[in-house]
Amino acid sequence: MPSYDPVRAIQRGLAVLRAISEHGPITIVDLVKRCGLPQPTTVRLLETLVAEGYVYRQQGEAAYRVTGRTLALSRGFDSKSYLLEVAAPIVDQMHVKIGWPSNLAVFDRDAMMILYSNRASLGLSLPGRAGARIPLLATGVGLVTLAHMPEDERNAALAQVAAAGGRWDTHPRIASGLKEKLKEIQRDGHAFADEEYLEAVYQSRIWAVAVAIMTPAGKVQAALSSLVLSMAGERKRLLHTILPSLRAAAVKIGALLAAGSQ
């Protein structure tokens, strides 16, 4: 019988909790698929999370959601509260102007974390909400952040991503052309989410374009993306409206962050 590995148990428990947080309400069958764990293991971890008060079963359904107690796990996230305070009104103003919602995301160890989103206005049931962690190499916000990092920070981030072993961040197709892609993003000033990732997560119902939020000194602070319905029309035409507003919002947020730190 294999010995009990507490670190592995914690990692599995966090994977289940994260899947419920990002995709809930979610059934056990879907949890097994998303986490890649045996069903008995998934059920056992789920029962533990329910017993500890982090997860509950939705009444009348065989689906699970996180409870408000999960907020206690995010106390360290308060360091981003000023960014949220500054950015949220600007992001919402941009939404009114261009008609498309946005994600505000920050780099967090080996992924991007959504700090703020008004994506619910798309009227679609899309996974992803504040606190959700999304891939670094397959998302526009991740790629544009990576492209604007100093080389030493970028290399450290890529090492963390490789160690984490996420499906999209270790995808051979995505990783193979990364260097050239980052140069292109640096030149153009914006990045698109990977098409296969959008197909897998959103069934290609949306596409996303992102820009970096930089301080006047040239340090990347966060990334801002716009989410657009694929059926809305020609991408090139829509970008003429979206990109100038996205860039203006990013510049305004960056300037306010710099002013607030003085």
pLDDT of residue 120: 63
Regions of the chain short of the pLDDT cut 50: 1, 77, 79, 124-125
DSSP conformation letters of the chain: -PPP-HHHHHHHHHHHHHHHHHH-SB-HHHHHHHHT--HHHHHHHHHHHHHTTSEEEPTTSS-EEE-GGGGGGGGGGGGGHHHHHHHHHHHHHHHHHHS--EEEEEEETTEEEEEEE-GGGG-S--S--TT-EE-SSSSHHHHHHHHTS-HHHHHHHHHHHHHHT-TTTT-HHHHHTHHHHHHHHHHHS-EE--HHHHHHHHTTSEEEEEEEEE-TTS-EEEEEEEEEEGGGS-HHHHHHHHHHHHHHHHHHHHHHHHHHT-
**CATH (one of 3.40.366.30, 3.40.50.2300, 3.40.50.1000, 3.30.450.40) for 76-260:** 3.30.450.40
- List the CATH code of the domain at 6-66: 1.10.10.10
pLDDT of residue 79: 47
pTM of the entire predicted model: 0.69
Taking the C-alpha atoms of residue 41 and residue 47, their distance in angstroms, rounded to an integer, is 10
How distant, in Å, are the alpha carbons of 4, 189, 221, 240 from that of 150?
Answer: 41, 15, 12, 29
**Closest residue by Cα to residue 151 from 190, 188, 113, 182:** 182
pLDDT of residue 85: 82
Q: Give the model confidence (pLDDT) of 92-116 as tens digits.
A: 899 889 989 899 999 988 899 888 8
Q: Give the model confidence (pLDDT) of 178-205 as tens digits.
A: 999 999 999 999 999 999 999 998 888 8
Query: How many of the other CB atoms lie within 10 Å of CB of 134?
Result: 22
pLDDT of residue 191: 97
pLDDT of residue 118: 81
Residues 6+ apart with CB under 8 A from 178: 137
* Under 8 Å between Cβ of 72 and 30: no
> Domain segments of the chain: what residues?
6-66, 76-260
pLDDT of residue 248: 97
pLDDT of residue 183: 95
